[in-house]
Amino acid sequence: MEFTILGQKFRLEIVIICILVGWFICANVFCSCAGGAKEGFESALDLTGAALDYTMGTGVKGSWDKMRQDIPPNVNQQLEGNVGGPIPLPENELFIWRENKSDPNCCPATYSTSTGCICSSPEQMNYLNERGGNRTIGYGDF
């Protein structure tokens, strides 16, 4: 069945479907706060937070949480004893970590693999910091 409003023809079943869909949308938008399931932000309020004396770095080897702040850190201090390949790299050699071991005990470290962190030597890290000889200024400068 069709009817005309302001010169436009409308089918009755389409008008009824549009009214039902509009009613459903309005009911969900304007009446959703009346009850029912809680949305995500309200549900999260029920979760308990961390304890007051919680410290993130407690029990973590090499944690930065408890480091002394009165002296500048020696960035290579944790690398002492690690063995790496020759520096500078031999001719036609591009892989600086070829002779290094990868171990979870070396974490946290700058570079990691699927088996742990790269145990880089202080010489290798200094070489990388100097960008292969293209940067000769200290650690604090850019």
- Per-chain mean pLDDT for the chain: 75
* Non-local CB neighbours of 117 within 8 Å, separated by 6+ positions: 102, 103, 104, 106, 107, 108, 109, 111
Find the mean pLDDT for residues 5-29.
Answer: 90
Residue 109 lies in domain: 59-142
pLDDT at position 22 is 95
9 lies in some domain: yes
pLDDT at position 16 is 94
Find the mean pLDDT for residues 87-105.
Answer: 81
Shared domain check, 137 and 67: yes
44 lies in some domain: no
40 lies in some domain: no
Between 34 and 76, residue with greater pLDDT: 76
* Non-local CB neighbours of 55 within 8 Å, separated by 6+ positions: 65
Q: Is the pLDDT of residue 72 over 60?
A: no
| Residue tagged 């009850």 (tokens) | 35
